[in-house]
Chain A
Amino acid sequence: MSVSAIRRLILVGLLISIGAALSIASPSFLTLDNLMTLLQEASLTGIVAIGFTLVLITAGIDMSIGAVIAITSMVCVNFISYTHLPAYVFIPIALAGGCLIGWVNGFFITYFKLPEFIVTLATRGILAGLALIAAVKDDQGFVKNVFIQDEVFLSFGETVGPVYIVTIVFFVLAFATQLFLKRTRAGTNVYATGANPTASRLSGINTDRTLIGVYMFSGFCAALASIFLSARMMTAMPDFGIGSEMDVIASVVIGGTPFTGGVGDIWGTVIGTLFLALIKNGILKLGLSPYIQPIVIGGIIVVTVIADVWYKGFAEKRATRIARQKQALAKEGV
């Protein structure tokens, strides 16, 4: 079994055992209602995490996703409050806005050769400020809590049977993205760009276009998650999603996509998202202090990364030992 397969098995084992422990510790955990809410929360983070995984595979980073969520929800609310356009007109506009933000990120990164994280941090600040300015205000200039009453828009937060629509969309998007990564040329280009940009450029891959495309996809995913979030909440606030970058990064890192680029896939991210949502739900169900949550999320990222490095070193040593034994056996055979 490959190293990443064993890692994934360990993760699934942990997922199941934490779930089992929680259902013993808290009677309200193992109910259909709670599990569906958990899945729904995981899907909201997960949709963003899918786009983020692609960015991470190209060895980049996108810190602006949280702010994209905020600005997209503000765009939708403005359309709802001030125009009478139907939802199937302004939702594509909002999604295109997410793509545009991704394009701007990608343009600054590829054209000016700036570090990814500082460009996206800067756009994050700009977008977070713009979201506050664009918020619907009342007469005194305070941010108004708009109750969304658009039927089509709210239908995004509905359920099909017991399952939320967002969960279905999440799994479909995950499947499609995985297919894209593994079965198309553009997907292979993403891996190649992350593994070695110079070599990919020399072998004829348009790395700039690949990078811009990846950032656009990341912006699109964040915008999509934002629409589901506002539909679920039936309102939108300018601080939606601000700070959710850490959740997304944690999910992707738990899923086994390293920061070095060139490696990673969507199924890992899906498991990582479920894992994080489970832990957050557990903190809530066990009645722990809410201040523990950032400590746990920050801690998980550091611990996972350390464990990954140790495990990789261990696996490499084991592989060399086995190779040496084989060599020795082959010599004896001769």
Chain B
Amino acid sequence: MKATNWRRLIVDFRLFGILLLMMVVLSFVSDRFLTVDNLTNVLWSVCLIGIMSVGAIYAPITGGIDLSVGSIAALSGIVANVLMNVYGLNWMLAIFITLGIGVLIGWVNGMVTTKFLVPAFIVTMAAKTYLFGVAMLVSNGDQITIMQPKEFLIIGVGKFLGIPIPIYIMIILAVGSHILLKHTVFGRQAIAVGANEVSAKLSGVNPDRTRIIVYIISAVTATIAGIVMASLTQQAFAMNATGYEFDVITAIVIGGTSLMGGNGSVTGALIGAVMVGFINNGLNLLDMPSSFHPIATGLVILIALIMNQGFSLPGAVKKVLARFRTAESLK
């Protein structure tokens, strides 16, 4: 037990080490990196990715995936704007209705995945496509600027005790998600379902119900991220969050969550979100064209996945050498 704790600690600190190394390298490479303006910029993107990943992490833990988070975020910003500024609803009511729509989307994703035995990534990929279509249809493809109501805009740009409100939202959600995963029955059930569905079912867990709740959680955090994003950028646009799902997956995978299910770490996902923010920011600072962004994300996903599988370069070399030696001795 103690050994595993130590190993977990080392893994977490390894991530911190890589993070620090990245910061040092970036501050050497570009003198614009360690400025308040730049770090605030990084913070905004980290907040959005972080809010999404602490909820979206449950899908990989149960062995699924949620690729629809980006579209959900874009749609929720547009819906909130329509509710507030076209129908003139109170901003709190509008947010509650938007959250309700998020719950509905997650429920549909979960139902189709569990009851009709469709792979999660197909369902959520389809959801990503049609939700994007709905977002385009509702907003008419326009980039809508949100000026009203002031209370809504405070969510994104306001500060409390000198710290921006989105950071509070992210920290509260992260702590809640961590407690839910590690210290509640539901979290344990989610891990059990991901590790071995049959034995989880035999020990009395309802895998379908667990999965449906998982997709609802993921959709709700994506909705919250969408509301924060709409309020932060003061605009609602269907293209706003395209590609966020890859950033979210990268963050989750960097954090050591295997996509096969059965384990996961919310802290890891948060550190992963910070790293994704730094990678994107670093590419910007180095004046790389935007085309390097998907390349970097793809490479990081592949490398992190291979590392999560317990693969290491020295180990592989040793294996090849051993095979070579046995072949020699057989001769």
Contact = CB atoms under 8 A, between A and B. Distances in A.
A9 interface: no
Given A128-B291, A246-B125, A298-B133, 20 more contacts: A61-B119, A113-B309, A118-B253, A118-B305, A121-B246, A121-B249, A122-B297, A122-B299, A124-B298, A125-B246, A126-B299, A132-B290, A249-B122, A259-B122, A289-B137, A291-B133, A291-B136, A294-B133, A295-B130, A298-B129
Interface stretch (A27-35, A188-196, A300-308, A314-322): A300-308
Contact of B259 (A115, A292, A293, A302): A115
A299 interface: yes
B136 A246 contact: no
Given A114-B306, A118-B249, A302 B311 contact: no
Interface string B287-331: 001111111111101100110010100000000000000000000
Which label, helix, strand, loop or mixed, suits the secondary structure of the A interface? helix
A295 B116 contact: no
B132 A294 contact: yes
Instruction: Using C-beta atoms within 8 Å of the partner chain, give the interface range for chain B.
Output: 35 or more
A264 to B, nearest CB: 15
A301 B309 contact: no
Contact of B137 (A114, A118, A291, A301): A291
A303 to B, nearest CB: 10
B293 A129 contact: yes
Max chain A Cβ within 10 angstroms of own Cβ: one of B291, B292, B296, B299:
B291
B112 A112 contact: no
A133 B122 contact: no
Contacts of B141: 291
Interface string A190-220: 0000000000000000000000000000000
Contacts of A123: 298, 302
A112 B305 contact: yes
Nearest to B122: A259
Given A112-B309, A129-B293, A122 B112 contact: no
Contacts of A118: 65, 249, 253, 259, 301, 305
A129 B249 contact: no
A171 interface: no
Contacts of A122: 297-299, 301-302, 305
Contact of B298 (A115, A129, A296, A301): A129
B298 A298 contact: no
Given A115-B259, A259-B122, A294-B132, A302 B112 contact: yes
A108 interface: yes
Contacts of B128: 298
B20 interface: no
Interface in B51-92: 65
Nearest to A67: B294
Contact of A301 (B126, B136, B289, B293): B126
28 contacts: A112-B309, A113-B309, A114-B309, A117-B65, A118-B65, A118-B253, A121-B246, A122-B305, A123-B302, A125-B298, A126-B298, A126-B299, A128-B291, A129-B291, A129-B293, A129-B298, A130-B291, A246-B129, A259-B118, A293-B133, A295-B129, A295-B130, A296-B133, A297-B126, A302-B118, A302-B123, A302-B127, A309-B115
